[in-house]
Chains A and B, each alone.
Chain A
Amino acid sequence: MRKILKIEERFYRVLMFLSTTFIGTALFVILFSILRTGLPHLSWEMLSEIPHGGYYFGKSGGIFNAIVGSVYLSLGSSLIAFLVGLPIAMFINIHLIRHTKFVAVIRFLLDLLWGVPSIVYGAFGFTIMVFFGMRTSLMAGIITVSLFILPIIVRAMDEVLRNVPKGLLESAKSLGSTNSEIAYVVYFKQCLPGIITAWLLAFGRAIGDAASILFTTGYTDYVPHALNEPAATLPLAIFFQLSSPIPEVRERAYAASAILIFIVLTVSVVSRILSCKYNKNKINF
């Protein structure tokens, strides 16, 4: 009996080990297969120039417009989501700390919103656009994406603020601070690394999502100069170029995916470094 149990355990442990390595290998294979195909086609021209005439038939040019468009879009939307999201997270954890039922309802609602697919936000953004008579523009994209990342950023900041010890809140209150001072002086400082990480997470989501901006941002070969102009974005640039029958254009799509991977990895590494560095200044109880 004992022996059978041992064999069973060993069998499952091998399976577990295999599935863990499977996940690790999957990431490696994804990064390796894209970088191997994309990096040889990456050039300074691709990074720094907008598409010239005949670009989509394999002539010269780059995807500078898409890089700039993506950065504008995700900076704008993550800023809006931050400005709306931070007060909500503070509200849940400071003002409503005693109303646990209400907080549970808010968290439930945020979780539901998090689960809504980005294409639904895209379709919704499109209906708003039609309703207000707007054209496809950077502004419409920023609004749609900020709605999409709002629940993500709030829940991420909420997880951080949740772990602040209650003693900090009590002592700040007993010294006579107003709620806004507790929020933006005490809690904000205490959780700064976590808040930055949450913002970076939202930024990464915003820069990588294609479905929500498909309807709203449009596509252009020029760098946008105003909020009411359409803008190109990296994910859509990859998507459109990959559906081309011309091999040169497709190779550029692989190079563009390498750029996107590089941006996302940088965001991830920076958020890790930041959270390690700033955690030293935290008050520990």
Chain B
Amino acid sequence: MTEKLIRYILFLPVLAGLSNVALASQADTIHIDEVEIIHSIPIHRATVISADMDTISMDLMAGRSLSELLAFHSAVHIKSAGRGALSTASFRGTDASHTKVYWNGIRLNSPMLGQVDFSLIPVWIVDDISLLYGGSSLKKGSGALGGAVLLENSGDWNGSFSFSLNQEVASFGTLGTYGRLAAGDNKIRSDTRLYWNRSHNNYPYLNTDILPMQEERLEQAGYERGGILQEIYFRPGKRHELSVRFWYQEAERELPPLMSQEGASREELQEDRNLRTSLEWKMYPAFGVISVRSGYAGSGMHYYLNHNDLGYRQFDSKSMEGSLYNTVQADVRGGSRSRFQFRADFNRHDAGIRDLVRNEGYEHLRNEASLMASAYRQAGKRWVIYALVRQEWADGKWLLAMPSTGFSYHLPLGKALYLKGNLSRNYNLPSLNDLYWIPGGNPGLRPENSINGDLSLDFSRESEGLVFHGTINAFAARVEDWILWKPTRFRYWEAENLAKVFSRGMDIQLGSEMIVGKWLLTLRASYAYTRSTNEGTVRSTDLSRGKQLIYIPVHASNAFMNLSRNGYFLNWSLSYTGRRYTQPSSGDNDFTEVLNPYTLQDLHLGKTWNIGQSRAGLRFTVYNLFNISYQAVRSRPMPMRNYALTLKVEI
């Protein structure tokens, strides 16, 4: 039974393995002997509908931000206001605040805004990235009506000492330095990462939003970021593991105006400081795993807009957020066929913002607690079923329970063909700005709620020198009480539970690794079809009913090819973003409210040399190979063809 348990071949483990091989093969040719891979996925993971980021993509984008990685290598839609500018992520046609991001269990979503700026998370500081779709996110937390992004640091227990350094020089005055030092033994380890990057970001573009139209360079768009991540892992005994993580980052960026701006000189700047820490103790008793975690996520933001020529400051706001996260979780095995998870969370958010020009702002303290219990059961040889319930409490009120149930079925048609499905209810608490912003915050807001349904078919096949896998997902979600801001008679905007949204669609992800002669070839392609429509209109003059939500493409796809041999490698990446509407009632003929589709292609060429135990690599990248002019957000120019040179040293 155990050998055949769930013979869940591939996808993650094999893929990860082969990806590593692909990396290694950049240094040397490796012949893979035939191996029989029998892998059993723990039953509490068998039902999860998710996708993992592969190591090739992460290595290519190590010096870039998470927004750039996800835009090119996932089915998540990234809405970016420019290179280095605010970038948010949307899963399956939902809002940015419906995407929750967890860094080693600590939620990174701003309690004030509800969303995460993905441009401020460097890929360098993360070891593993996975995406949980729809209801699969409920085991990590509530509110991810679209999905969740998990960022994990796992600690490298291999070897006693390692050092790596990436140095990047790129177009538009871009420099980046990324270093990592890991040391220790099998009892205690330290892993330190330091990073810094800056860019003048003054790329040229054709300004079509002014008259007469003219070639310009983007001004006021520079940025500089730096940070440190320190991890310490300690294993006092076989059944205990302690980890401490400390991540501090400072970022400063100029905010460029819209392309149509021709006003008086302006200086618009945003400074962000973030501190995230976590302390985790994992115990491995005979019956399962217990983990206790406590973390803090604090941020300070200063935003101002100066008109120096006219001698006044239009905005000057400072905000502070401090969030405490505490979690106790127990994974309990009930024999070989059952598994139970129990989790309790207590979070505390203390946030405030003040505009110093108008002397207006708010402060608020919010306490949240939640309890989660889930049970997983293997039924027969082919079925795994689960049931989960989460109960939350916020600011003295209990929310309705959030249940989720689902299955995984090993189809008898092949060795690795799995059908998975789940049905869930989820709630997303209003952000503190939605509730308390002055003016317009609405303390009477109800949580947004959704019913999510997911169906997934995983298939894979492997033979000598070839791995092939694919996933087809179909989803539907109905979100009610969606919070929107609408203007009031007082000419300010107020948050209200306004919209009902029906989101449905499907995505396909295909991947293959194969040995062709002396080459290792990795191929991936994905396509996402997303229909996310407004269903909550009442008035006959409201013509947004049934129309696609703004900035959500119906069609999007990615493709990726990596070819490597004797340390040489060539990588071609493609990202297609379909037409997007910029106004809720616009149709196909409304040419002023439509952003045209675009296809971006990047090309990476590189060589890695082995020098004893050390390695050195050089990579040349052409971004936007075909010099496509496009806009991801209206009136925000994006860079045309640009280049980067990266030197990597590993000891």
Q: Are these two chains actual partners, yes or no?
A: no
